[in-house]
Amino acid sequence: MRISGLADASGVAVATIKFYLREGLLHPGVATSATQATYDDSHVRRLRLIRALTGPVGLSVQQARAILELVDDPGHDLYSTLGRAVGALPPTTTAADAADPDPYPRARAALEALEQVYDPRFPAVAQLETALAAAEDAGLPISPERLLAYGRTLRELAAYDLERMPPEPRAAVEYTVLGTALYEPVILALRRLAHQDVAARLDLGQ
Amino acid sequence: MRISGLADASGVAVATIKFYLREGLLHPGVATSATQATYDDSHVRRLRLIRALTGPVGLSVQQARAILELVDDPGHDLYSTLGRAVGALPPTTTAADAADPDPYPRARAALEALEQVYDPRFPAVAQLETALAAAEDAGLPISPERLLAYGRTLRELAAYDLERMPPEPRAAVEYTVLGTALYEPVILALRRLAHQDVAARLDLGQ
């Protein structure tokens, strides 16, 4: 298809497609003349990914580029690549003070209680620390019992997600990034709606 | 305690406490003279709640006021009050076009598949619709099978949360608001860390 067809198929404006081509975020089409090129489904797919990252996921073009580079070149250590790709998603966390021997005490205790393997450089560790501290500050700390209930349930869901990860490395990075960022709002909305359903079946007084 | 003691106990500056008193967000202390009053644990607790709502939860003072009014006067229909209080939390959603007979088709189908009771005016329905549409747009729609896996698991967690809701209505509203808003980031961080744990135990190639 021509660039106008690509714009129709992807819902991305021609000027924006040209910008992504210039920036190298989108791979060139096959040149059919000095001024024209032809594009295929791989371009539609890539534009969907760029649009998701810069739209609902909320990344800048530069932040999206960092993730796209990992999709394009996952390297040989897929575990590390997936960690870096997810770590590049919001929310941003500030790096720990290098002099602090135990910068995430709440998260460390929680992950030890859950017997989970983790890398303290993974931003979700700082994210968990901040979230646990905020709950504690508000006078509603996560009890050890609740931590186990939440942690075990979420680990089941994580196993479900990973069982469905495509084997091809580039597709795996794309699946992991989008499945993390785009399914998080689904999970939060489903949780609120599950609360409503459970509450509706209780006698809370009308 | 005096206002300076309240500031120490709550971590909220005296000037901010005075602002909350003037705005009626914080109940007055017991006057001990024309210019002094004494405060107790109920004030510390209230300041923690205000601080959580305007800090990590990210509400403006006016938005926090709407929730505090529901905490102070839950009325007789606790189910509806809990729904309104959670509906006042971020993310904000735009109301559906009143002329549209089916404004949330994806969310409706999902909740029907999960056999959940829901009120379409509850903002989490619009939130779910937006999240499902974004996943679809990105080429990674939530499959019916995944919806059931996520929905059933989150409903178990919701039942766990509601079993622990305090019976006293004002405490119930406070628990629901803070447990919704402050535990969401905990859940998202735990999910990312569970992915890391599951991935670490797979052979992803080093």
- How confident is the model over A117-145, as pLDDT tens digits? 999 999 999 999 999 999 999 999 999 99
B37/chain A closest Cα distance in angstroms: 24
Mean pLDDT of chain A: 94
Question: Would you say residue A205 has pLDDT above 80?
Answer: no
Q: Token match 């509706």: residue?
A: A200
pLDDT of residue B104: 96
- The residue count of chain B comes to 206
Q: Which domains does chain A have, with CATH numbers?
A: 1-54 (1.10.1660.10), 59-96+103-206 (no CATH)
Say if residue A144 is preceded by a cis peptide, omega within 30 of 0: no
Q: What is the dihedral of CA B111, B112, B116, B122, to 10 degrees?
A: 50
B46/chain A closest Cα distance in angstroms: 10
Q: Token match 């006042």: residue?
A: B88
Query: Which residues, 6 or more positions from B127, have their beta carbon under 8 angstroms from its beta carbon?
Result: A185, A188, A189, A192, B91, B93
B187/chain A closest Cα distance in angstroms: 7
| B194 with A158: Cβ contact below 8 A | yes
Nearest chain A residue (CA) to B179: A140
Contacts of A153 in chain B (CB under 8 A): 153, 156-157
Contacts of B86 in chain A (CB under 8 A): 192, 195
Q: What is the pLDDT of residues B107-156, one digit of tens each?
A: 999 999 999 999 999 999 999 999 999 999 999 999 999 999 999 999 99
Q: Which residues are bridge partners to B30 per DSSP?
A: B38
Crossing angle between the packed helical segments A78-87 and A169-200, to the nearest 10 degrees:
50
Mean local confidence (pLDDT), B70-86: 95
Q: Token match 């017991």: residue?
A: B30
Question: Would you say residue A206 has pLDDT above 80?
Answer: no
Q: What is the dihedral of CA B53, B28, B62, B168, to 10 degrees?
A: 50
| A119 with B155: Cβ contact below 8 A | no
Q: What is the CA radius of gyration of chain A?
A: 21
For residues B67 and B23, give the distance between their C-alpha atoms in angstroms, rounded to a whole number: 14
Mean local confidence (pLDDT), A167-178: 96
Between residues B170 and A205, the one the model is more confident about: B170
Q: Kindly report which listed range (A64-73, A105-114, B115-124, B196-205) carries the lowest average pLDDT score.
A: B196-205
Q: What is the pLDDT of residues A74-126, one digit of tens each?
A: 999 999 999 999 999 999 888 888 889 999 999 999 999 999 999 999 999 99
Residue B35, SS3? coil
| B186 with A142: Cβ contact below 8 A | yes
Contacts of A106 in chain B (CB under 8 A): none
Q: For residue B205, name the pLDDT band (cuts at 50, 70, 90).
A: low
| B157 with A127: Cβ contact below 8 A | no
pLDDT of residue A68: 96
From residue A33, alpha-carbon distances to A30, A41, A151 in Å are 9, 20, 57
B31 DSSP assignment:
E
